[in-house]
Amino acid sequence: MHILIVHDQQIPVSGYGGTERVIWGLAKSLNSLGHQVTFLVPAGSNCPFASILIWNPQLPLIDQIPAYIDVVHLNQLPQESLAKPYVVTIHGNHNSDTLLDKNAIFVSQNHALRYGSNSFIHNGLDWSDYGKPNLKLSRNHFHFLGKAAWRVKNVQGAIDTVLKSPSETLAVLGGNRLNLKMGFRMTWSPRITFYGTVGGQHDRERAAYHDGHLVRPSLDQVPV
């Protein structure tokens, strides 16, 4: 089967990029199963295990889907009818006025139920990008992993929960102590440690992995 994965952001991603990492891992797995995979993505993209077509936002999507494609996997809602079989993954939340596609697939059961659907597939990642964790390490603090500047990720809830405990500590992977994107937010507590944006194993200008630990300059090692 020849599968076209459509996304409006470049691949591969080097820093933050939830959807980009998900579709990269998906394509890699599909390729390993014997399927042909092509990405329709913006200029500047590249991929060693899939073909690349350059997405032109000025042209109708239907005009950019080759005849040899069997199935189209969209990661944004289509703005037109498509002749090819397709699905569209809903990665985020939409307001009640948004008309979702009949072929929409959600990323969790709860996500689907909130939109009156029972179609969901959990997002997956290629764990080889992140190094093998050492499960024998002591569990001496909690982790928050996500883009903390986004209010919906609720890093504040994680911080508040930890600070209500007698002595627990929290490592925030994906945020900074001073957060101006959510208004002026400054976390003063020494029990909360921030490590900024953390990429994959190959994102070596940001981080490197060694023996299951995340290593960054001037920072303590954080079990992952």
Average pLDDT over every residue of 171-181: 82
Of 196 and 198, the one with more pLDDT: 196
Pairing of strands 208-210, 213-215: antiparallel
- CATH second-level architecture of 2-113? 3-Layer(aba) Sandwich (3.40)
pTM of the model: 0.75
CA distances from 205 to 95, 107, 108, 145, 148 (A): 38, 31, 33, 19, 20
Q: Kindly list the domain boundaries of the chain, sorted by start residue.
A: 2-113, 131-223
Q: Which residues of 53-65 are buried (b: 16+ CB within 10 A; e: fewer)?
A: bebeeeeebeeeb
* pLDDT (tens digit per residue) in 112-132: 999 999 999 998 888 777 777
Q: Taking the alpha carbons of 205, 17, 173, 186 in that order, is the dihedral positive or negative?
A: positive
Cis peptide before 60 (omega within 30 of 0): no
Lowest mean pLDDT among 16-25, 86-95, 126-135, 169-178: 126-135
Average pLDDT over every residue of 185-194: 88
Residue 34 has pLDDT above 60, yes or no: yes
Of 80 and 215, the one with more pLDDT: 80
